[in-house]
Amino acid sequence: MRGVVETVRLTTTGEASAREVLEESIARIDELNPRLNAFTRILAEEARAEADERDAALARGEAPGPLHGVPVAIKEEIDVAGCVTTYGGRANTTPAAADSEVVRRLRAAGAVVVGKTAMPEFGSFPFTESEHTGYTLNPWDESRSPGGSSGGTAVAVATGMVPVGLGGDAGGSIRVPSAFTGVYGLKPQRGRVTTAPQPHLWWALGVVGPLARSVADSALVYDVVRGNLPTDLYRAGGDASFASAAAREPGRLRVGWSLKVPSAGVRLDPVHAQAVRDTAALLTELGHDVAEVDVRYPDPTAAFVPQFLAGVRTEADQVDHFDRLERRTRETYRLGSWVTPRVRDAALRQTEAYSRRLNRVFEDVDVLLTPVTAHRPPKLGIVMGKGTVRSSLASLPTVTYMVPWNLAGNPAASVPTGIGADGLPVAVQLVGRTDDEPTVLSLSAQLERARPFPRWAGPAHGSPGATSPVS
């Protein structure tokens, strides 16, 4: 499956119609999704009507949008008109009356929405495992997790079911599945992309953004969906084109690298340590000033935990049938009863202080290079059936390098580096200064040119095929 930039070239020059591109996407979904369980709802007929309208508009001489005819996937937590916003569970039953603002912007740019993608309920944990929809499988090794919570979107993009898809990231949920499946995932600066109709996504923690097969594809989609509405609680600064940034050389940068694990008791896998060292060496060869730095990670507990609990409670209060939530979600809701508005607001003040302290690292460097996760993609079922506390402990090695940057708000990207000896993708994290996605994108694109991203070639063998719901 081709990427976003190539798809737009074909559909706007007449080499392929939007309908032809869509039919390729639907055929690939029909082939792969029954096995991998990336999509929870496929909007084939609605998408065909939308693609036909794109073709008709072009035939009428109307100017094509920047995403003309591009099939896109939308994570379950994002509203699509006529679809139930399930949040990965069964507690909602009322279809959304309207598209979320980011989906409206995608359609206005010419994209075609092909379906909704799997996530764990409310995205509470970084593995796409749901009592309602079952397991989503990692296409590189179907006995492994693709991560989460945007795991369905990542699998859809990695396997070419669609060129791009939307996800969300409140503690690594774009970067984890990107790293585990070999796609590019940039968590934008807090407030860069509207969360409307919601004023926020888990308060200061969450952002919305694309998962893509290349840096250029990610940048193009960001230029379409970025920007705010008056209802948004947060706003980012800067207005430079992301697509232009991805197309230019980054210049000579000061790059700091660190393997320091932010959480006590977590051990870094040697594969990820080596990936960081190899990338540091490559960046040196590319002419950057590269040096190891000591990142002083503040304790995130007082800032993160209240917002996590408040986020779950906010979303749980909005569903149609609270009693249909998963047992662990209801447990998390009860555990968060102490997070009053006063406690939540204190956590937000802690977040501001945390951001100031952590961002001191950028007094000496322009970009920070770290691992994305501490461990390799785990076997399926790592949190299925576990309670809130055990699930949180099992998730810590996955999110330890990412949560700090959700709290700080900085842009941070998972950049593929190759394939490990276990046959699974490997990635590193690039973190930028506040509001500096352009530098992260430019450096990511330089790395992509020097070391092309891996591409999934076909179905794995000997997999369990575990896509059915778990009772």
Rounded alpha-carbon distances, angstroms, from residue 220 to 2, 5, 140, 322: 15, 8, 27, 39
* Partner residues linked to 429 by β-bridges: 370, 414
* Catalytic member of 100, 149, 414, 442: 149
Q: Are the C-beta atoms of residues 255 and 452 closer than 8 Å to each other?
A: no
Q: How far apart are CA 250 and CA 470, in angstroms?
A: 48
* Catalytic member of 17, 25, 100, 173: 173
Structure tokens at 167: 């996800």
Q: DSSP 3-state helix, strand, coil percentages of the chain (rounded to 5)?
A: 40, 15, 45
Would you tell me the crossing angle of helices 44-59 and 4-13 to the nearest 10 degrees?
A: 50
Q: How far apart are CA 331 and CA 347, in angstroms?
A: 21
* Catalytic member of 75, 145, 395, 414: 75
Quick check: bond before 149 cis, omega within 30? Answer: yes
Q: Are the C-beta atoms of residues 216 and 445 closer than 8 Å to each other?
A: yes
Nearest alpha-carbon partner for 121 in 352, 325, 420, 423: 325
149 catalytic per annotation: yes
Query: How do strand 425-432 and strand 367-371 relate by DSSP bridges?
Result: antiparallel
75 catalytic per annotation: yes
337 catalytic per annotation: no
Nearest alpha-carbon partner for 421 in 280, 274, 279: 274
Q: Are the C-beta atoms of residues 226 and 242 closer than 8 Å to each other?
A: yes
Q: Give the residue numbers marked as catalytic.
A: 75, 149, 173
